[in-house]
Amino acid sequence: MTMNVTELFGSKVFNDKVMKERLPKETYKALKKTIEDGAELELDVAKVVAHAMKDWAIEQGATHFTHWFQPMTGITAEKHDSFIQPEDGGKVIMSFSGKELVKGEPDASSFPSGGLRATFEARGYTAWDPTSYAFIKDDTLCIPTAFCSYSGEALDKKTPLLRSMQAIDKQARRVLKLFGNDDVKRVITTVGPEQEYFLIDTDMYNARPDLIYTGRTLFGAKPPKGQELDDHYFGTIKPRVSAFMKELDEELWKLGVLAKTKHNEVAPAQHELAPIFSTTNIATDHNQLTMEMMKVVASRHHMTCLLHEKPFEGVNGSGKHNNWSISTDTGLNLLEPGKTPSKNAQFLLFLTAVIKAVDEYQDLLRVSVASAGNDHRLGANEAPPAIISMFLGDELEDVVDSIIEGTDYTDKKKKLMSIGATVLPSISQDTTDRNRTSPFAFTGNKFEFRSLGSAASISGPNIVLNTIVAEELDIFATELEKAKDFDKALDKLVKRELTAHKRIIFNGNGYSDEWVKEAKKRGLLNLRSTVDALPSFVSDKSKDLFKKHGVFTDVELTSRYEIELEKYSKIIDIEAKTLVSIVKKDIIGAASEYETILADTINTKTACGLKISNAVEENRLESANKLTISMDKDLSRLEKDIKKAESIEDSLELARFHHDVIISDMESVRESVDSLEVMIPSNIWPYPTYGEILYSVK
In a domain, 351, yes or no: yes
What number of H helices and E strands is found in the chain? 24, 20
Residue numbers of the domain that contains 31: 5-155
Query: Of 338, 356, 360, 355, which Cα lies nearest the Cα of 347?
Result: 338
Domain count, the chain: 3
Kindly state whether residues 94 and 194 are assigned to the same domain. Answer: no
pLDDT greater than 80 at residue 204? yes
If asked whether residues 379 and 508 sit together in one domain, one would say yes
Residue 422 lies in a domain: no
In a domain, 559, yes or no: no
Q: How many CB atoms lie within 10 A of CB 494?
A: 20
Write the CB contacts of 318 (distance below 8 Å, at least 6 apart in sequence): 196, 197, 198, 265, 270, 306, 307, 308, 309, 310, 311, 453, 454
Distances 629 to 59, 633, 668, 669 between C-alpha atoms, Å: 66, 6, 12, 11
pLDDT tens profile 558-579 = 999 999 999 999 999 999 999 9
Contact of 147 with 70, CB cutoff 8 Å:
yes
Same domain? 578 vs 472: no
Specify the pLDDT at position 120. Answer: 43
On average, the pLDDT of the chain sits at 90
How many CB atoms neighbour CB 20 within 10 A?
11
Q: Is the pLDDT of residue 629 over 80?
A: yes
The pLDDT of 575-599, averaged and rounded, is 96
Q: Quick check: is 560 in a domain?
A: no
Within 10 angstroms of residue 234's Cβ, the number of other Cβ atoms is 12
Q: What is the CATH number of the domain that holds 42?
A: 3.10.20.70
Task: Please check whether residues 504 and 378 belong to one and the same domain.
Answer: yes
Last residue of a domain, one of 120, 155, 190: 155
Q: Which amino acid is at 398?
A: D
Buried b (16+ CB within 10 A) or exposed e, 464-485: bbbbbbbbbbbbbbeebeeeee
Q: Please check whether residue 557 lies inside any domain of the structure.
A: no
CATH number of the CATH domain containing 472: 3.30.590.10
Among 100-104, 319-323, 559-563, 648-652, which is the least confidently predicted range? 100-104
> Are residues 195 and 323 in contact, defined by beta-carbon separation less than 8 angstroms?
no
* Residues 175, 99 within the same domain: no
Q: What backbone phi and psi angles, to 5 degrees, belong to 69?
A: -135, 170
Q: Phi/psi zone of residue 140: left (φ > 0), alpha (ψ -120 to 50 degrees), beta?
A: beta
Residue ending a domain, choose from 113, 137, 155: 155
Q: Are residues 520 and 665 in the same domain?
A: no
CA R_g for the chain? 28
Cα separation values, 452 from 4, 69, 385, 476, 506, Å: 34, 21, 11, 29, 19
199 and 227, same domain (yes or no) = yes
Report the C-alpha gap between 462 and 158 in whole angstroms. 11
Quote the CA–CA distance of 75 and 86 in Å, as a whole number.
34
Query: Are 621 and 682 in a shared domain?
Result: yes
The answer for residues whose C-beta is within 8 angstroms of residue 328's C-beta and 6 or more apart is 176, 181, 184, 186, 187, 188, 334
Helix axes 459-481, 345-360, angle to 10 degrees: 120
User: Contact 415/409 with Cβ under 8 angstroms?
Assistant: no
Contacts of residue 651, defined as CB under 8 A and 6 or more positions apart, other chains included, come to 562, 565, 566, 569
- pLDDT of 218-228, one tens digit each? 999 998 888 87
CATH of the domain at 651: 1.20.120.1560
pLDDT level of residue 230 (50, 70, 90 thresholds): confident
Domain identity same for 60 and 106: yes
Task: Kindly state whether residue 421 falls inside one of the protein's structural domains.
Answer: no
Distance CA(559)–CA(546), nearest Å, equals 14
Q: Between vectors from CA 526 to CA 525 and to CA 528, what angle results, nearest 5°?
A: 145
Last residue of a domain, one of 492, 519, 552: 552
Q: Is residue 496 part of a domain?
A: yes
Q: In the prediction, which pLDDT does 107 show? A: 61
Question: Of the spans 69-83, 150-164, 416-430, 534-548, which averages the highest pLDDT?
Answer: 534-548
Tell me, what's the pLDDT at 575? 98
Same domain? For 127 and 218 the reply is: no
Q: Is residue 308 part of a domain?
A: yes
- Tell me, yes or no, whether 544 and 433 share the same domain: yes
Does this model's pTM top 0.85? My answer is yes
Q: What's residue 418's pLDDT?
A: 42
pLDDT (tens digit, 9 = 90+) per residue, 131-170?
899 999 999 999 999 888 766 788 889 999 999 999 999 9
Q: Looking at the structure, do residues 51 and 96 belong to the same domain, yes or no?
A: yes
Q: Above 60 in pLDDT, residue 188? A: yes
